[in-house]
Structure 1
Amino acid sequence: MSAIINDIEIIKSETTKINDVDFNNLKFGHVFSDHMLECDYKDGKWQAPKVVPYQGITLDPSAKIFHYGQSVFEGMKAYKDAHEKVWLFRPLDNFKRINISSKRLAIPELPENYFMDGLKALLEVDKDWIPSNEGSSLYIRPFIFASGNGFHASPADEYKFIICTAPSGSYFSGDVKVLIEEKYSRSANGGVGFAKAGGNYAGQFYPTQLAIEKGYQQVIWTDDNTHEYIEEAGAMNIFVRINDTLITGPTSDRILDGITRKSIIELAESENIPVEVRKLTVAEVVEAAKNGSLKEMFGAGTAAVISPISGFGYKGEDYEIEKIDNTYASFLKKRITDIQTNKAEDPFGWRYEVK
């Protein structure tokens, strides 16, 4: 069956998987909704997007995604409030960032209406897939990859833009213990660390696996040159609280301009929490852990929102972070999720209703 929503062609699935889903026990990103948005770039322009049944993709073995890694993505969530209204959180920031990432990887940039109208049409078709139970959301994964063929080392001439969605529960459960990396780097000056490029994450898996084998759950990434500065926590931005001051590193070629990161900074400042955006050395964090002034560390990103860190390892020594009451992490996470789910006022204009 075909229809039109927001000028987007809708080809509906003849069947649904929704009745087979236990919405009270959702893993993160394991179950996928009935439909997806699909849009092709060919003949020098993006073609009209359309919503189609969720399905596999057929590619030629010479498709350049397999050989030269032109791939970027975003992470977003949709929420349903008590009145069945559907909300997004700062979606235009995701649109802007996927184009920033695309430009760095020589991928053609998307028109805003293709991204936003396509996303809204997809959510309208699959709105029953948006969970309303506490702590759950519809995770949204927009991505673009090189579908054009050829072994020549050059940008592709064809690309595919897709948005898939997955009803999901919490990304992490409980605090995580991390290892401060002393050898491997996530990214480098002049590189693509600021972009949400697939290869950035592929390069993280091996060092993270080594950390897991040592009893940690994640890696704290340090700068590529000296490994003296704290930069990111796994696939998230990182915040460190020393005494009452919240500290995070400045964005750069190496650090992703996280949407949750920006929101935490703005929200904390509005609550008169001292915030410093500056370079933070490993030595400063270790000293703070030793003298008791290190009160909190946490990762920040779309999937987990905020993920508390219970301790870290460095140069063969472990440092535990003593649990305290009324943490910034719990306060800020609740403030953000209450805004996201329409349980609180949004003085920042971050919440976006899907109509």
Structure 2
Amino acid sequence: MKTTLSFPVYKTKNSKLQQTNFSNLVFGQTISDHMFVADYKNGEWTDLRIEAYQPLSLNPANATLHYGQSIFEGMKAYRTPNGEVSVFRGDANWRRLNESAERMCMPTIPEEIFMEGLMQLLDLDRDWVPTAKGASLYVRPFMFATDDYIGVKPSETYKFMIFTCPVGNYYSKPVSVKVETEFTRATPGGTGAAKTAGNYAASLYPARRAQNLGYDQLLWTDGKNHQMIEESGTMNVMFKINGTIITAPTTTGTILKGITRDSVIQLAKDWNEPLEERFLSVSELEEALNSGTLEEAFGTGTAATIAHIERIHVNGKDYTLPAKKEDAFSHRVLRELDGIKYGTIADPHHWIALV
């Protein structure tokens, strides 16, 4: 692989590869051998290196532990039929990470550091990319504050890291969701569009309440009136009603700009599918469920890919969606995305980069 950025690589002396059971991968629990690390100090990124995956040593006064300056991304690498390793839309993840960094008063990452760190790490740990159908290598870039200081202000030092983990499917079956009208994920002017740790921490309690009732995820509604569907806990959401795909816009600052969401929208346009980027009201969703005009509901995300929704709880009532036909849009778009990612069909939008 041709590289343009040189930094030291310290290989592990104790690879876990041979002890890993690739036929039984629990999402996020098995970590690959190495990680990319860069430190920000004195106004620049320095000390770039790849080293063995290992625990971090943190001062109890670490700023992130107290004030939450932490952002992350999620992306995947795939094994193609001829044994190559492909990465899906890494440049989009780099741009979104920097948007999150700006919102959280953190330094942005130069594209060269992000992409070269990513590609060289994947090249070193390419044997960790699973070969089983539906499996992939999940990639977690993240950044956090490293000042050892108790005081509410942006940190002056940061650490950027990337590690990877082989994974199977995030959801092994269609999901059940509950429309949330009490708790709030994000409001205009907040951090809803940033992929920051605090957003997820705040969602845990209402999500656990829903899970205790038998639902996999929530459908979050707007923070002001709880009348408009926004997104789900781990994914953006889309609905097909009367032949038209409807998904919430990302212009309000309350919804994450999902890369899978954007890819699905592009494919829908390629296929001339009717699509509207607008908010779907809870009452409109309920009416479509009662009238039978809701043809499909599904989530989109890096971890979830395309997650089919089979049950929706609205205003005290459960609705079960009809089984989807093989030519349903959500099935078609899942097959198309998988084909592009795994290199079995053409990549007209140049979303794939080979390691």
TM-score by length of 1: 0.97
Q: TM-score, normalised by structure 2?
A: 0.97
Cα distance in structure 2, aligned partners of 1:302 and 1:10 = 28
Distance in 2, matches of 1:347 and 1:72, equals: 31
Q: Secondary structure of 1:141's match? A: strand
Q: How far off is 1:6 after superposition?
A: 4.4
RMSD: 1.1
Map 1:174-189; keep pairs closer than 5 Å.
174-189=173-188
Please name the residue that 1:289 is paired with.
289
CA distance in 2, matches of 1:131, 1:216: 30
CA distance in 1, matches of 2:256, 2:286: 24
Letter paired with 2:340: I
CA displacement at 1:328 relative to structure 2: 1.4
Q: Is the 8 A contact 2:76 2:138 kept in 1?
A: yes
Once the two structures are superposed, residues 34-61 of structure 1 have per-residue CA deviations (whole angstroms, 9 ceiling, x without a partner) of 0000111112211131100000000100
Partner of 1:257: 257
Alignment length, in residue pairs?
351
Q: Is the 8 A contact 2:219 2:230 kept in 1?
A: yes
The 1-side partners of 2:20 and 2:296 are apart by 37
Three-state SS of the structure 2 residue aligned to 1:221 is: strand
Q: What are the within-5 Å matches in structure 2 for residues 316-331 of structure 1?
A: 316-325=316-325, 326-331=327-332
Q: CA deviation at 1:8?
A: 2.3
Distance in 2 between residues matched to 1:81 and 1:47, nearest whole Å: 34
2:155 corresponding residue in structure 1: 156
One-letter amino acid of the structure 2 residue matched with residue 14 of structure 1:
K
Deviations 1:156-213 (A, max 9, x none): 1111101010000000011111110011111110011001001111111100011111
Distance 2:258 2:330 in 1: 16
Is the Cα–Cα contact under 8 Å of residues 178 and 220 in structure 1 kept in the other structure?
yes
Is the contact made by 2:61 and 2:149 (CA closer than 8 Å) also made in structure 1? yes
Cα deviations by residue, 1:222-270 (Å, 9 ceiling, x for unpaired): 0000100010011210000102111101002100110000000010111
Given that residues 180 and 314 in structure 1 are in contact (C-alpha distance below 8 angstroms), is that contact kept between their aligned partners in structure 2?
A: yes
Corresponding residue SS for 2:331: helix
Matched residues in 2 for 1:308 and 1:110: separation?
A: 35
Letter of the 2:94 counterpart:
F
Preserved contact between residue 74 and residue 140 of structure 2 (Cα < 8 Å) = yes
- In the alignment, is the contact (CA less than 8 A) between 2:5 and 2:112 conserved in 1? no
> Per the alignment, in what secondary structure is the counterpart of residue 29 of structure 2?
coil
Does residue 247 of the first structure (1) align with residue 239 of the second (2)?
no
Q: What per-residue deviation string (whole Å, max 9, x for no partner) do you get for residues 112-133 of structure 1? A: 1110011111011101101121
Partners of 1:156 and 1:288 lie apart in 2 by 48
Partners in 1 of 2:19 and 2:223 — Cα distance?
A: 46
- Matched with 2:354 is 353
Off by >6 Å, runs of 4+ in structure 1: none
Check the 8 A contact 1:259/1:301 in 2, yes or no.
yes
Q: 1:5 to 1:165 in 2, by over 3 A?
A: farther
1:200 counterpart residue number: 199
Residue 310 (str. 1) matches residue 310 (str. 2): yes
Matched, 1:103 2:102: yes
Q: Which amino acid aligns with 2:317?
A: E
Identity value in percent: 42
Matched residue SS, 1:48:
strand
Instruction: Note if contact 2:5-2:113 (Cα within 8 Å) is conserved in structure 1.
Output: no
Task: Report if the CA contact (8 A) 2:59-2:148 is conserved.
Answer: yes
Structure 2: segments with no counterpart, 5+ residues = none
More moved, 6-15 vs 130-139: 6-15
